[in-house]
């Protein structure tokens, strides 16, 4: 099980690469262990923030099933035992802040609980791309506005 966090306020600066959005330290807690021979079909996935359900869906709603996703990725990327592939989440992701408690529950696997805390150091402001809070960033973080992408420029 995984809690795949993203720093959406870096989305404008990433030019689509998702490096800062998804690959920063501590953004993808995994656990508590590896499960084999688990049938992913028809399982509920729920995310709660501070006890309130913010995402709720079924693996049956996935556009492609896991067998297809693994085969497609393996066409161009060498996979090794222990590699982790994440397939996305139900709609309606929500921003979280320090102090929030996030629970990701997958039917038949259990619940992964994470406490959001402030990092030990601030993002440096004297070098590199800086986080932003544009309309597009906020819309993407909230899981909406997809129908308008490419139709109108984002307001900044």
DSSP code string of 49-106: ETTEEEEEEEGGG-SS-HHHHHHHHHTTS---TT--------S------TT-EEEEEE
Q: Report if residue 154 sits inside a domain.
A: no
Q: CA angle, corner 114, sides to 113 and 117, nearest 5?
A: 160
Residue 121 clears pLDDT 90, i.e. is over it: no
Provide, rounded to the nearest whole percent, the portion of the chain with pLDDT above 90: 30
The stretch 68-77 carries a mean pLDDT of 94
Better pLDDT: 146 or 102: 102
pLDDT at 147 (0 to 100): 46
Grade residue 104 by pLDDT with cuts at 50, 70 and 90.
very high
The stretch 101-114 carries a mean pLDDT of 93
Range of the domain at 59: 8-148
The stretch 46-64 carries a mean pLDDT of 92
Q: Report if residue 123 sits inside a domain.
A: yes
Q: Report if residue 155 sits inside a domain.
A: no
pLDDT at 92 (0 to 100): 77
The stretch 128-135 carries a mean pLDDT of 76
Q: Report if residue 125 sits inside a domain.
A: yes
Q: Report if residue 1 sits inside a domain.
A: no
- Over the chain, what is the mean pLDDT? 81
Residue 23 clears pLDDT 90, i.e. is over it: no
CATH number, domain at 139? 3.90.850.10
Residue 20 clears pLDDT 80, i.e. is over it: no
Q: Report if residue 2 sits inside a domain.
A: no
* Structural domains counted in the chain: 1
Q: Report if residue 60 sits inside a domain.
A: yes
Better pLDDT: 30 or 101: 101
Q: Report if residue 89 sits inside a domain.
A: yes
Grade residue 76 by pLDDT with cuts at 50, 70 and 90.
very high
Residues 140, 153: Cα–Cα separation, whole Å: 14
Model's pTM, two decimal places?
A: 0.78
Tokens of 86: 């994440």
């Amino acid at each position: 099980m995984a809690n795949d966090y993203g720093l959406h306020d870096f989305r404008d600066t990433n030019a689509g690469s998702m490096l800062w959005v998804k690959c920063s330290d501590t953004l993808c807690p995994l656990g508590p262990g590896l499960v084999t021979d688990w049938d992913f079909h028809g399982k509920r996935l729920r995310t709660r923030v501070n006890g309130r359900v913010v995402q709720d869906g079924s693996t049956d709603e996935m556009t492609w099933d896991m067998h297809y996703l693994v085969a497609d990725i393996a066409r161009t990327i060498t996979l090794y035992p222990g590699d982790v592939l994440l397939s996305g989440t139900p709609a309606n992701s929500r921003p979280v802040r320090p102090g929030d408690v996030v629970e990701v529950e997958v039917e038949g696997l259990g619940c992964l609980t994470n406490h959001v805390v402030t990092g030990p150091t601030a993002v440096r402001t004297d070098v590199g791309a800086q986080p932003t809070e544009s309309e597009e960033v906020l819309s993407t973080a909230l899981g909406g506005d997809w129908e308008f992408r490419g139709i109108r420029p984002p307001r900044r």
